[in-house]
């Protein structure tokens, strides 16, 4: 506020209520192969039901991704999913060949077909499309007429400019029954759409058929067809429209899409390309990155694992969860696999594949455990906090497991733990449990435990977010006091929730010297004593003679 020039009263409001915000630490990220859904695009799902509705049920090529995602969602409720496809994948189309349309963004650069399946894959070969134009006779003969209140005719917008017969009805249906299980089951209906590119509905939204379908349909998109007629135009009186009519009867457009191709057996390179969608920490909020691919070779497994680890290292706000290739079923093989991994405190490795039930196909499948391990961390967040260990009998029970590919004994567990591999163990009568909480950091420090790594991720993410309020302010004692008053209550709260045992915040002229200020920098040193999880318990049972007082042998009173 400027200085007063003449006498008066200035009122100035100063906001000193800035606080450190809560940040998410339970959001999972997975990239893999699915039957349906957008490609190379992040989609957030919150339940297994929603996952299957958007990305399809598992088959022999996609089960690892689908069931891994479902495993995570049995613990947490926020998962970001990226579908990858091979180079041969195609969307089903109304024309003579398939066409790859990955997602809504990619669709803007694609031409060459009229109606295409929304996403790549053979699922699209089930889709039928029927369009009825503004014709009383066509509507009377139309197979779907009973699902609409009246025949399409002339919209009010067309009437206003002297046009006519611009409306049409659209039905999208399951022609072969491969989607719903019932042949010719209706998937979607659209009534009284217009061919006019500038048509509006009663709420002022676009009623242009191409726009409505491309914005709302889960099954089809219009690429070149239904080209809009500006201001409706007198040409509409001819009752023609710009979708190529194939197999038409009584003037309606009827077609079953075809030429869709699956390419869901992803190579290591195709998997890592899909993972690249999670690379940008500024625009993609994810905390738990997990591995997902069908039975990879040992070499490909290493490639994908190290890609995940490198991404977590670069982001510095998430942990990568990796699992050994399926055939690794001895301590020696798992250790050999572990030796190929990048050492990092941002990575967590387990010891065994899981044998789980695929309820969609009534079979059992071998599945990497990484999604379940990430899920245990999400569950720890929900039941305690991110800085609590996900291992052990309180928070480490692994769900939905029939058996392990490899159940390590005590000697094997010792060997695995030395190289940072966290054993998954089935104990008779006690279930299957994650029995370790080490990261893949080999240097002994607090960061070789996942609870400490995740503690610092939460602290760093929350405080750095709050610190943005100090950007472009003056580096003076007022700003530094504001910063301390914002951060210290947050750390006291974390201490009260058992995340740290003590802390100290230094942000004053000792670390913000004249040189620091002159170079437009601001420095805060935050000292943290992290809480440590118990990994080793010693119980000493001591027998004494009947007449001995305990104080004589144990000390104290």
> What would the DSSP string read from start to end of 130-156?
EEEES-HHHHHH-TTGGGSSS-----H
The span from the CA of 175 to the CA of 115, in Å, is 15
**Digits of tens for pLDDT over the chain (557 positions)?**
566 677 766 565 556 567 777 777 899 999 999 999 999 999 999 999 999 999 999 999 999 999 999 999 999 999 999 999 999 999 999 877 889 999 999 988 888 778 899 999 999 999 999 988 887 888 888 889 999 999 998 888 888 777 778 888 999 999 999 999 999 999 999 999 988 888 888 889 999 998 999 999 999 998 877 665 544 544 444 444 444 333 344 445 668 899 999 999 999 999 999 999 999 999 999 999 998 865 677 888 899 999 999 999 999 999 999 999 888 889 999 999 999 999 999 999 999 999 999 999 999 999 999 999 999 999 999 999 999 999 999 999 999 999 999 999 999 999 999 999 999 999 999 999 999 999 999 999 999 999 999 999 999 999 998 999 899 999 999 999 999 999 999 999 999 999 999 999 999 999 999 999 999 999 999 999 999 888 777 877 777 788 887 777 776 55
pTM: 0.89
**Are the beta carbons of 253 and 246 closer than 8 angstroms?**
yes
The span from the CA of 45 to the CA of 48, in Å, is 8
Beta strands per DSSP E along 217-369: 220-222, 253-256, 288-290, 319-322, 347-350, 354-358, 363-367
* pLDDT computed for residue 276 by the predictor: 96
Q: Which of 151-185 are b and which e, b meaning 16 or more Cβ less than 10 Å from the residue's Cβ?
A: bbbbbebbeeeebbbbbbbbbbbbbeeebeeeeee
Token look-up 């567990």 returns 413
* Domains (range + CATH), the chain: 28-85+265-451 (3.40.50.11780), 104-256 (no CATH)
The SS3 call for residue 190 is strand
* pLDDT computed for residue 157 by the predictor: 81
* pLDDT computed for residue 540 by the predictor: 78
* pLDDT computed for residue 291 by the predictor: 87
Sequence-separated (6 or more) residues with CB below 8 Å from residue 269: 303
């Amino acid at each position: 506020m400027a200085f007063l020039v003449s006498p008066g009263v200035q009122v100035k409001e100063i906001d000193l209520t800035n606080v450190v915000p809560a940040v998410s630490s339970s959001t999972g990220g997975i990239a893999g192969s699915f039957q349906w859904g957008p490609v190379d695009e992040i989609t957030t799902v919150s339940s297994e039901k929603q996952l299957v509705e958007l990305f399809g049920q598992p088959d022999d090529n996609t089960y690892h991704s689908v069931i891994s995602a479902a495993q995570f969602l049995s613990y947490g409720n926020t998962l970001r999913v990226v579908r990858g496809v091979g180079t041969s994948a195609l969307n089903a189309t109304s024309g003579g060949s398939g066409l790859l349309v990955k997602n809504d963004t990619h669709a803007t650069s694609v031409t060459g077909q009229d109606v295409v399946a929304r996403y790549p894959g053979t699922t699209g070969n089930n889709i039928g499309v029927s369009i009825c134009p503004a014709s009383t006779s066509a509507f009377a003969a139309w197979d779907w007429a009973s699902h609409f209140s009246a025949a399409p005719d002339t919209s009010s917008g067309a009437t206003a400019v002297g046009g006519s017969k611009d409306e049409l009805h659209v039905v999208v249906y399951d022609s072969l029954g491969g989607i719903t299980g019932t042949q010719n089951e209706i998937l979607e209906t659209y009534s009284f759409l217009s061919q006019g590119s500038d048509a509006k509905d009663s709420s002022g939204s676009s009623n242009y058929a191409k726009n409505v379908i491309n914005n709302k349909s889960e099954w089809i998109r219009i690429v070149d067809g239904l080209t809009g007629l500006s201001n409706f135009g007198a040409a509409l009186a001819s009752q023609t429209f710009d979708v190529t009519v194939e197999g038409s009867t009584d003037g309606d457009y009827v077609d079953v899409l075809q030429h869709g191709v699956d390419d869901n057996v992803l190579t290591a390179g195709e998997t890592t390309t899909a993972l690249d969608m999670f690379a940008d920490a500024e625009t993609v909020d994810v905390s738990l990155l997990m591995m997902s691919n069908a039975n990879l070779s040992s070499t490909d497994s290493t490639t994908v694992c190290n890609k995940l680890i490198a991404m977590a290292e670069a982001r510095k706000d998430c942990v990568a969860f990796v699992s050994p290739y399926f055939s690794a079923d001895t301590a020696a093989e798992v250790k050999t696999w572990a030796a190929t991994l990048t050492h990092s405190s941002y990575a967590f490795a387990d010891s065994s594949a899981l044998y789980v039930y695929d309820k969609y196909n009534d079979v059992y499948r071998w599945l990497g455990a990484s999604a379940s391990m990430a899920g245990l961390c999400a569950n720890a967040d929900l039941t305690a906090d991110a800085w609590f260990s996900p291992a052990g009998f309180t928070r480490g029970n692994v769900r939905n497991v029939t058996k392990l590919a490899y159940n390590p004994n005590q000697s094997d567990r010792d060997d695995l733990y030395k190289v940072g591999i966290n054993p998954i163990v089935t104990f008779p009568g006690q279930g299957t449990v994650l029995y370790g909480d080490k990261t893949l950091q080999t240097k002994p420090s607090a960061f070789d435990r996942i609870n400490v790594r995740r503690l610092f991720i939460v602290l760093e993410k929350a405080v750095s977010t709050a610190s943005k309020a100090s950007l472009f302010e003056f580096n003076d004692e007022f700003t530094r006091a504001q910063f301390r008053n914002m951060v210290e209550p947050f750390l006291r709260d974390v201490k009260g929730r058992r995340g740290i045992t003590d802390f100290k915040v230094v942000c004053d002229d000792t670390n913000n010297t004249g040189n620091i200020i002159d170079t437009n920098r601001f420095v805060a040193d935050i000292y943290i004593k992290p809480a440590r999880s118990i990994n080793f318990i010693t119980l000493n049972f001591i027998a004494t003679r009947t007449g001995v007082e305990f104080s004589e042998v144990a000390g104290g009173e």
